[in-house]
Chains A and B, each alone.
Chain A
Amino acid sequence: MTLTFLYLWFVIGGILAWISGRWSKNFPRWISLGFLSIHMAVLIIIWIKYLAAQSAGIQSGPWIMEINVPWIARFGIHYSLALDGFSLLLIVLSNFLGIMAVAASWEGIQYRIGFFHFNLLWILAAIVGIFLAMDLFLFYFFWEIMLVPLYFLIGIWGHENRTYATLKFFIFTQASGLFMLLAILGLYFVHGASTGIYTFNYTDLLGTPMSGTTAFWLMLGFFIAFGVKLPLVPVHTWLPDAHTEAPTAGSVDLAGLVLKVGAYGFIRFMIPLFPEASFSFAPVAMILSVVGIIYGAVVAFGQTDLKRLVAYTSISHMGFVLLGAFAWNQLALQGALIIMLSHGLSTGALFILVGDLQDRIHTREMGKMGGLWDTMPRMGGYAMFFSMASLGLPGIGNFVGEILVLFGVYQVSVTLGIIATIGFIVATIYSLWIIQRAFWGKNTQSWKLHDHNPREVAIMVIMVVGLMWMGLYPQTILNTSRQAFKNMRQYVYNVFQPYHQKSSAYQVNPARDEMTEKSLNTAQIKPKDGDQK
């Protein structure tokens, strides 16, 4: 029941917000905020209970909660939702960024407010659904439905070139999603043929026996869908357009949540369902992610449009996530999760900053900026902080995540680990570039702007606190997600190990790296010990 509540609450809230938009401009905003806050309260209660149960050593089954009832019996489709530490954290992130998005568009959005908040809440509903769905059909259902409100959000409230951007975004993601549908159906029939049970249930489909070629093609279907969302380099071209043309709230949702959905898919579905195929494909995927890390950063540096620059940095950061996912050891996975969370916050904050800036100077061209620190010291300071977060300054969440991923990747491939580290250097360049071009230097256009107002400061402060928390005490997050990753790795181990006794670089055995994890967990939370650069 609680699980249904977690997404249905937003569905209801969205409809109420839409209707209430008829009477007042403020109703939809307050309704959205109210619904989000209540949702957050429920999440925090679940979270605290879970952490308490963890520390007390009470662990009942792999899920914190689950629900499973028949839905479309003809195909063996179940309405199956489940929550574990991994999805819980991502749902908390979704809600958090939802609140930030509402707050950030409090003044920026002045027309069709009801419909705007409807779309905003429905995006969240679909994303929460994706994180909860444990039936592949249901997963695909939420996956596709997420596009519609996002499409409206960008298409109606976006900037100049929005029609082109939305079409590109929609067609890219839809087409790739359909390949996933093919793969899901392929898996369904393969499983049905070999076991006689036709089901879309995730846990039942784990470890489906199939030939190497079949597994490869099915894996590829998932890979394309998640790769487009993440996005991976050859299929990333929708991202800069969509991010740039989206309104602030849309960019926050896109960068903070939609990209995470792709990463979540890799970790939750693709690798556990097709461990063999995934690991044999891993070199390609990891090279692609390293290419993404470097390419995203280099192209970001070349941008003159500030928002586009931030968009490209996402490609770079998400490369680390994919790298971590394919390294598939506890460290790398935990790291990937922390990057997902902290990237959501830092990039979300940067997009909000760019939005604030655009509201004031009506341009995103960095050529027209410069010297803004003098007129807006508060905004400059926050921009500084989030740029530092983006370049991976120790003490901020992004650093913890990226360093954990690198630790994990070193165990799998030293070369890739080293090349990925170069990403840090390029990240430093573009992050400092933002500050240099926009906030320092000469105020050539003689801007006289009003600085952040209390609402905007509040948003920024909350984001800063979140990032600092993850940077200084990531243990909360590590504790919450540990068991979830362990379970997934156990499944994979069960399937993978019999064929690979002398497991290669992959430490698929969860027991083996318990030690490393413990020693590192205690070591790395003192970030002041050293800057890796």
Chain B
Amino acid sequence: MTSENFSALLPLMVLAATPIVIMISIAIQRNHAISGVLALLGLLLAFISLAYPLLVPPAARHIPPLLSMDTYSVFYIGLMIAASFVLTALSHGYLENYEGRKEEFYILIILGTLGSSVLVASTHFISFFLGLEILSVSLYTMIGYVRENEQCVEAGIKYLVLAAASSAFLLFGMALVYAELGSMAFPEIARRLGAPGLNTMLILTGFSLIIVGIGFKLGVVPFHMWTPDVYQGAPAPVSGFIASVSKGGMVGLLFRLFLEYHITQYSSIVLVFSIIAIASMFIGNFLALLQDNVKRIMAYSSIAHFGYILVAFLAAGNMGIEAGAFYLTAYFVTIIGTFGTITILSGKEREAEEIEDYRGLYWRHPWIASIFTIFMFSLAGIPLTAGFIGKFYLVAAGVNSSLWYLVIILVINSALGLYYYLKIIVYMYLEHTNEAESAEKAAPLPPSVSVVSGFVLVLVIFFLIWFGVYPQNLMVIIKSAIAGFGYAPMITAGLIP
């Protein structure tokens, strides 16, 4: 390893060092504010240090065999650090209400970000697995962080059991691929796939098992069972973290492993992903229609949204990868804002998760309701929001690759999805319940808007509208990031079974 390699790895190192610093500071003096500020500083520093991998010559960005800090990784890592930054700021307000120990939360959230970043940068099964496990382990704890709440602990355990099982599948898949190809490095795998006399069945089984592991993290059908319970049980900022950083890292890896290294040359793999995409879109949206809990709605809607992203994945080519990255960015901004608003609305005793909590919100708190409305519109893909351009990009990528049936299913689902987003909006603009009725129910939750969370939400809205009205800048950034996507040489000799 050269010194250039080291500076390329600097962002990951900063991310790894920050939890240690926070740990030491906790050992010296327990202070919520200090831990929070340290976490934010660490993330800021990591974000700034992303310039280093860009400064070194392209060849030095690859740190074989484990990692590659190319522009593609840098883009995704930047996205995830920014998301964590916002979520950390929002968690601060949330944890203020929590009476247990608050400080360790920041260690976990940054470790999770580190795991996700490693995932994106990995070019080897080992780093893939390491990243995944760092992410998962910190998630187990984060989901069950509010130990006094039974639902929360239940969600944590549910996630733990299922994630462990899916990791086992993933490992087994990796083992099978390794058994047949004798390598765990992605470029080497791509190269050896072209060799004659391979047992394709074994390779396909291996990759299918890997898809199980990936599908679980993405929460796509049929690996989606955990999503609603975990989204509902976890603290709102953690649900936001799962929806954004955790899934985003996996999307980054999915695009890299399967597209850069041409695993999608197997038609059966494409078929599997098509089925997963279609099932996710339909089942996610249909089940969301039946929910009355906003966090559960978001869970099912995220299943559908990752189904949409798979359309971009299947469209492949530069356009598909760009569309995926753009959509993911738009989704990040929107879903973090959504969970941020839920966080703000949540009180000490319970979270604002029932749709009834949103009844007449506009007339009580016009600003919060307006902001939440914009997030819902972005999820639904209405113009002036990032979600609209994202959807446009996806459809464009699909049409470009002539995936007509997938695109039409996407369009139908987009209309289906409108129903439940509008349902939430309708509730916010309903009249006050009359006095007698509201006396029976619990009093409406008082929102807790701190300076930090208020500022952060305004920032998120700013990006949401910027990407929705003038997406050119982001598109240019993504385009140049994708340019670092070094397609491995394509070898197809006698592969397609």
A contacts, CB < 8 Å to B: 71-75, 137, 141-142, 144-145, 147-148, 151-152, 155-156, 163, 166-167, 170-171, 174-175, 178-179, 181-182, 185-186, 188-189
Contacts and interface: CB of A to CB of B under 8 A. Distances in A.
A179 B426 contact: no
Contact of B415 (A141, A145, A178): A178
Contacts of B383: 141-142, 144-145
Nearest to B363: A112
Contacts of B400: 189
Contacts of B449: none
Interface residues of B, number: 28
B160 interface: no
A74 B399 contact: no
A167 B415 contact: no
Contacts of B415: 171, 174-175, 178
B316 to A, nearest CB: 16
A144 B382 contact: yes
A73 B472 CA distance: 7
Contacts of B472: 71-74
A145 B384 contact: yes
Contacts of A144: 382-383, 388
Interface stretch (B249-257, B268-276, B344-352, B404-412): B404-412
21 contacts: A71-B470, A71-B472, A72-B470, A72-B471, A72-B475, A74-B479, A75-B396, A137-B392, A141-B388, A145-B383, A148-B377, A163-B426, A166-B422, A166-B426, A167-B419, A170-B418, A171-B415, A174-B415, A178-B395, A178-B414, A182-B407
Contact of A185 (B395, B429, B470, B479): B395
B476 interface: yes
Given A171-B415, A182-B411, A145 B392 contact: no
B422 A185 contact: no
B285 to A, nearest CB: 12
B105 to A, nearest CB: 37
Interface in B55-75: none
Point out which of B382, B384, B415, B476 has the most chain A C-beta atoms below 10 A from its C-beta: B415
A181 B392 CA distance: 8
Point out which of A72, A74, A151, A163 has the most chain B C-beta atoms below 10 A from its C-beta: A74
Interface string B411-432: 1101100110011001001000
Given A167-B422, A170-B422, 12 more contacts: A72-B472, A75-B396, A148-B377, A155-B429, A166-B426, A174-B418, A175-B414, A181-B392, A181-B411, A186-B399, A188-B396, A189-B400
Nearest to A181: B395
A186 B404 CA distance: 10
A175 B411 contact: yes
B411 A178 contact: yes
Nearest to A163: B426
A185 B384 contact: no
A166 B384 CA distance: 21
Nearest to B427: A163
Contacts of A182: 395, 399, 407-408, 411
Nearest to B468: A141
A145 B476 CA distance: 25
Interface in B381-396: 382-384, 388, 392, 395-396
Nearest to B414: A178
A152 B418 CA distance: 15
Contact of A175 (B412, B423, B426, B429): B412
Contacts of B426: 155, 163, 166-167
A174 B416 CA distance: 10
Contact of A179 (B392, B411, B422, B476): B411
A451 B400 CA distance: 62
Nearest to A217: B404
A357 B388 CA distance: 41
Given A74-B476, A182-B399, A186-B399, A152 B382 contact: no
Contacts of A147: 382
Contacts of A73: 472
A171 B475 contact: no
Nearest 4 interchain pairs by C-beta: A175-B415, A74-B475, A178-B411, A185-B399
Contacts of A71: 470, 472
Contacts of A155: 426, 429
Contacts of B399: 182, 185-186, 189
A163 to B, nearest CB: 6
B397 to A, nearest CB: 10
A171 B419 contact: yes
A170 B384 CA distance: 17
Nearest to A73: B472
Interface in B455-480: 470-472, 475-476, 479
Given A182-B407, A182-B411, A171 B418 contact: yes
Nearest to A151: B422
Contacts of A151: 422
Contacts of A178: 395, 411, 414-415
B407 to A, nearest CB: 6
Contacts of A167: 419, 422-423, 426
Interface string B429-448: 10000000000000000000
Nearest to A126: B383
A147 B396 CA distance: 22
A336 B418 CA distance: 34
B282 to A, nearest CB: 15
A152 B362 CA distance: 12
Contacts of B411: 175, 178-179, 181-182
A111 to B, nearest CB: 10
Contacts of B429: 152, 155-156
Point out which of A156, A174, A179, A188 has the most chain B C-beta atoms below 10 A from its C-beta: A174
Nearest to A183: B399
A182 B410 CA distance: 11
A175 B415 CA distance: 5
A206 B388 CA distance: 26
A430 to B, nearest CB: 33
A187 to B, nearest CB: 10
Contact of A145 (B382, B395, B412): B382
Contacts of B407: 182
Nearest to A148: B382
A460 to B, nearest CB: 32
A181 B395 CA distance: 8
Contacts of A175: 411-412, 414-415
B470 to A, nearest CB: 8
A213 to B, nearest CB: 13
Contacts of B414: 174-175, 178
Interface string B127-153: 000000000000000000000000000
A156 B419 CA distance: 17
A179 B382 CA distance: 15
A166 B412 CA distance: 19
B490 to A, nearest CB: 23
Contacts of A141: 383, 388
Contacts of B470: 71-72
B360 to A, nearest CB: 11
A164 to B, nearest CB: 10
Contacts of A163: 426
Nearest to A179: B411
Contacts of B476: 74
B364 to A, nearest CB: 13
Nearest to A190: B399
A70 B377 CA distance: 26
Interface string B217-237: 000000000000000000000
Contacts of B388: 141, 144
Nearest to A77: B472
A152 to B, nearest CB: 7
A483 B114 CA distance: 64
A171 B400 CA distance: 26
